[in-house]
Structure 1
Amino acid sequence: MSRRSALFMGSVGGVAMAGGGAWLGRAGATQAMAAPAAEGAIGGLTTVPPYAPSGRRPKNRRATWSQQFQASHGWSAAGAGTASAEVNDKSDFVRGTQSVRVTTNGTGKQSYVRKSGMPAMNLSGKMIRLVFRVDDVTNLSKLVFYLGSGSLANFFSWTFHAHSKTSANYVQSGEWVTVHLQWADVTSAAGTYSISAVGKPSMKTGFTDMSFAVYDNAGGPVTYRLQAVELIPDTAEVFPKGVVSITFDDSHKSIHDLARPVMDSFGFPGTVYNIADAIGTGSFLTIDQMRSMQNFSGWEMGGHSYANAVHTASYPKLSAEQADEDFRKLREWLVSNGFTSEHFAYPHGAFQKTSDGVPVDLIASRHFTTARSIISETIESFAPAMPYRLKALTGINDGAGIGGTALSQLTGANGKLDRCVNNGDWLILCLHKVVDGAPKTSTEIGTAGLTTLMQAIADRDIPVVTVEEAMAYYK
Structure 2
Amino acid sequence: MDVESYLVRPATAPRFTNPQRAMLATFQPGHGFTQSSASNFNYDDTTDYVLGSQSAYIVTNGAGATATLSKSGAVSGLNMTGKVFAILVKVTNSAHLSRLTMVAGSSGFAKNLQIQVQASITGANSEITPEGRWSWVTLPWYPSYSAGAPNRANITDLRIVAVDDNTGQLVKVQVQAIVAQAERPAAFPNGVVSIGLDDCWGSQHTYATAYMDKFGYAPTVHAIVDLVGQPDRLTLDHLHRIEEYSGGEVAGHAWTADSHNAGFDALSPETLDEELRLTKQWLARIFHRTAVGALGAGFAVPAG
Q: TM-score, normalised by structure 2?
A: 0.79
Unaligned runs of 5+ in 2: 6-14, 292-304
Find the counterpart in structure 2 of residue 212 from structure 1: 160
- Distance verdict in 2 for CA 1:339–1:272, change over 3 Å: farther
86, 91, 109: which one pairs with 2:42? 86
Report deviation, 1:230: 1.8
Find the counterpart in structure 2 of residue 320 from structure 1: 269
Aligned-residue Cα RMSD (Å) equals 3.0
Q: Percent identical across equivalent pairs? A: 29
Cα offsets for 1:4-40 (capped at 9, x unmatched): xxxxxxxx58xxxxxxx999xxxxxxxxxxxxxxxxx
Find the counterpart in structure 2 of residue 152 from structure 1: 109
Q: Which moved more, 1:225-234 or 1:205-214?
A: 225-234
Find the counterpart in structure 1 of residue 35 from structure 2: 77
Unaligned runs of 5+ in 1: 1-11, 14-20, 24-56, 195-202, 343-475
- Taking the TM superposition and a 5 Å limit, the aligned residue runs for 1:171-250 are 171-183=129-141, 186-193=142-149, 204-220=152-168, 221-250=170-199
Q: Which moved more, 1:61-70 or 1:101-110?
A: 61-70
CA distance in 1, matches of 2:276, 2:140: 32
- Distance verdict in 2 for CA 1:140–1:280, change over 3 Å: same
Report deviation, 1:121: 0.4
- Taking the TM superposition and a 5 Å limit, the aligned residue runs for 1:71-150 are 71-78=29-36, 81-117=37-73, 118-137=75-94, 139-150=96-107
- Distance verdict in 2 for CA 1:274–1:223, change over 3 Å: closer
Cα offsets for 1:111-132 (capped at 9, x unmatched): 1111123421012333322122
- Distance verdict in 2 for CA 1:164–1:321, change over 3 Å: farther
Report deviation, 1:190: 1.6
- Taking the TM superposition and a 5 Å limit, the aligned residue runs for 1:40-439 are 61=19, 63-78=21-36, 81-117=37-73, 118-137=75-94, 139-162=96-119, 167=124, 169-170=126-127, 171-183=129-141, 186-193=142-149, 204-220=152-168, 221-338=170-287
- Distance verdict in 2 for CA 1:302–1:341, change over 3 Å: farther
Q: TM-score, normalised by structure 1?
A: 0.53
Verify the 8 A CA contact 1:300 1:341 in the aligned structure 2: no
- Distance verdict in 2 for CA 1:62–1:289, change over 3 Å: closer
CA distance in 2, matches of 1:192, 1:236: 30
CA distance in 2, matches of 1:85, 1:279: 50
CA distance in 1, matches of 2:183, 2:123: 32
- Distance verdict in 2 for CA 1:260–1:132, change over 3 Å: closer
CA distance in 1, matches of 2:246, 2:92: 46
AA paired with 2:252? G
Verify the 8 A CA contact 1:163 1:169 in the aligned structure 2: no
